[in-house]
Amino acid sequence: MRRSPRSDDMTLASLRFGIAVPLLYYGIQLVAAPFFPDFSVLGTTASELGSDRSARPWIFNAGAMLTGIAAIVGSIGLLRALRRLGAHPIVAWLALLVVAGTGLSCLWAGIFPMPDPRHAGHPSFLIAMLAVPFVLSFALWRLGVSRGIKAYLVATIVLLLVMVPIMMRMFDIDMHTYAGLAQRVFALTVFLPISVGAYELARRMGAASPGIGAPDRVAAALPVGQSH
């Protein structure tokens, strides 16, 4: 079935939001950090920047919600691009579900900041986040991405498998001192694959439809840019 240039442009526009996700996630922390007393990149977690300990908690909480919205919109682009490039419908919809679930987690965290007991959200949010690198790796692998992208995806999954027991405090590590660092490294395994996947799909969309332009247009339109 033929797709209109307008439909492809809408898909690219959605993918741009996905590309921006890690920039928003880490960028908003840079903006919010100066308003948190004794901020430490090692010990201060992202969510603390939106707590009542911050002089300007709304900065981080608004940023968390923006990150969530970007991920949700980006998930639509991932679905549309994967279907456009011939991925199996189940794989495409799984990509949407895990990325949109991750976006909902960020949105929820911004709406209910610490110390609100609802801040942690529903367990399904965590399941979605943990599934992101696996689902996107499978989807991109099936499309025949380059060895470099494959190596990155494998490394991301390995890093995730290392970080999960650390985050669960299964090792004798001083998490009071290094909670912020551990969280930010863990976030790399969730948010960065969304950006890499969205960029790779945008590049392939451009190759499939030269009229819409690909990586250069995507990069030029990038918005400048949470955890629980």
Domain count, the chain: 1
Average pLDDT of the chain to the nearest whole number: 89
Structure tokens given for 159: 């890093």
As to burial, measured by CB atoms within 10 angstroms (0-12 exposed, 13-18 middle, 19+ buried), residue 178 is middle
pLDDT digits (tens, 9 = 90+) for 1-37: 455 678 888 999 999 999 999 999 999 999 999 999 9
The answer to whether residue 91 is domain-embedded is yes
Mean pLDDT of 93-114: 97
Cβ proximity of 104 and 52 under 8 Å: no
Predicted model pTM: 0.86
Give the domain range for residue 197. Answer: 5-219
As to burial, measured by CB atoms within 10 angstroms (0-12 exposed, 13-18 middle, 19+ buried), residue 193 is buried
Is a pLDDT exceeding 90 seen at residue 110?
yes
Q: What pLDDT is recorded for position 94? A: 98
pLDDT digits (tens, 9 = 90+) for 194-221: 999 999 999 998 866 655 444 444 444 3
Mean pLDDT of 38-44: 94
Q: What pLDDT is recorded for position 205? A: 86
Is a pLDDT exceeding 50 seen at residue 122?
yes
The answer to whether residue 224 is domain-embedded is no
Query: Using the 8-state DSSP alphabet, how is residue 212 labeled?
Result: G
At 120, the pLDDT band (50, 70, 90 cuts) reads: confident
Cβ proximity of 107 and 64 under 8 Å: yes
